[in-house]
């Protein structure tokens, strides 16, 4: 097994608090100069802020490996129809100013999909068209899937507070990506019972009160 560190860009989307383009660029440049060149993102991160920023700053001329997703669009709404999925990828490529992504994940489906066959076919077509290199399933945390699509890889939550999906999925695919190792900052060592998140930080709605304690 080959271990790799992948930089998740959701915390740089603005969904965890205000981020400006200067801090975004500075952070990514630090990663790249440190030899960390694989990034994970999605169209709905900051309602497109992450994709737009990468395209604006690097203009497709950077030694980056991009893993992205489709299924949750820029407005934060789920749509797993084939036409919407294809349009989502095309938009991502345009905004990122690149020709192909490394791994494309189906983003956290639950009961919205009853037949994965058409999506499996779409992933196969996207590979043939050289728009993606690998396919993947990014699972909804704690959801029990009756069927796992025929993709190349899987992505799931895994940290000291939540190991359930590790036991379910670690051997399901040849390649596994574990996300949220610090549990959205809960395991960072920087939170106290008096911590307060800004209104712009999505964590303010659920890491509070009894749960924060």
Residue 106 above 60 pLDDT?
Answer: yes
DSSP state letter for 206: T
Contact 155, 139 (CB under 8 A): yes
Query: Which pLDDT score, from 0 to 100, does residue 146 have?
Result: 93
Query: Which pLDDT score, from 0 to 100, does residue 63 have?
Result: 80
Distance CA 105, CA 44 (A): 13
Distance CA 208, CA 27 (A): 28
CA angle 200, 14, 56 (to 5 degrees): 150
User: Which residue shows structure tokens 């025929």?
Assistant: 150
- How many helical (H) and strand (E) elements, i.e. helices and strands, does the chain have? 6, 7
pTM: 0.94
User: Which residue shows structure tokens 């303010």?
Assistant: 204
Question: Mind listing the pLDDT tens digit for each residue in 159-212?
Answer: 999 999 999 999 999 999 999 999 999 999 999 989 999 999 999 999 998 888
Query: Which pLDDT score, from 0 to 100, does residue 1 have?
Result: 42
User: Which residue shows structure tokens 């790249």?
Assistant: 32
Question: Mind listing the pLDDT tens digit for each residue in 109-166?
Answer: 999 999 999 999 999 999 999 999 999 999 999 999 999 999 999 999 999 999 999 9
H or E stretch at 212: helix 209-212
Distance CA 13, CA 105 (A): 18
Question: Mind listing the pLDDT tens digit for each residue in 37-89?
Answer: 999 999 999 999 999 999 999 998 878 999 999 999 999 899 999 999 999 99
CA angle 15, 72, 203 (to 5 degrees): 25
Range with the poorest average pLDDT among 1-5, 100-104, 191-195: 1-5
DSSP-assigned states of every residue in 144-198:
--S---S-SEEEEE-BTTB-HHHHHHTTTSSEEEEE-TTGGGTTSS---TT----
Query: Which pLDDT score, from 0 to 100, does residue 81 have?
Result: 98
**Cβ neighbours for 54, distance < 8 A, ≥ 6 positions apart:** 28, 39, 41, 64, 66, 95, 96, 97
């Amino acid at each position: 097994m080959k271990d790799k560190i992948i930089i998740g860009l959701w915390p740089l989307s603005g969904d965890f608090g205000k981020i400006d383009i200067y801090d975004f660029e500075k952070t990514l440049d630090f990663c790249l100069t440190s030899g960390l060149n694989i990034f994970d993102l999605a169209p709905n991160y900051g309602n497109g802020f992450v994709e737009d920023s990468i395209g604006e700053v690097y203009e497709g001329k950077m030694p980056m490996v991009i893993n992205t997703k489709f299924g949750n669009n820029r407005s934060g709404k789920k749509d797993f129809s084939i036409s919407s999925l294809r349009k989502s990828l095309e938009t991502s490529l345009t905004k990122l100013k690149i020709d192909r992504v490394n791994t494309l994940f189906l983003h956290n489906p639950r009961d919205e999909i009853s037949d994965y066959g058409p999506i499996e076919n779409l992933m196969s077509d996207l590979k043939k068209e050289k728009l993606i290199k690998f396919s993947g399933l990014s699972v909804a945390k704690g959801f029990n899937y009756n069927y796992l699509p025929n993709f190349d890889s899987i992505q799931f939550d895994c940290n000291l507070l939540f190991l359930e999906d590790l036991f379910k999925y670690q051997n399901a695919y040849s390649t596994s990506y574990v996300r949220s190792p610090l549990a959205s900052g809960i395991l960072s060592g920087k939170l106290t019972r008096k911590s307060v998140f800004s209104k712009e930080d999505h964590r303010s709605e659920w890491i509070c009160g009894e749960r924060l304690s």
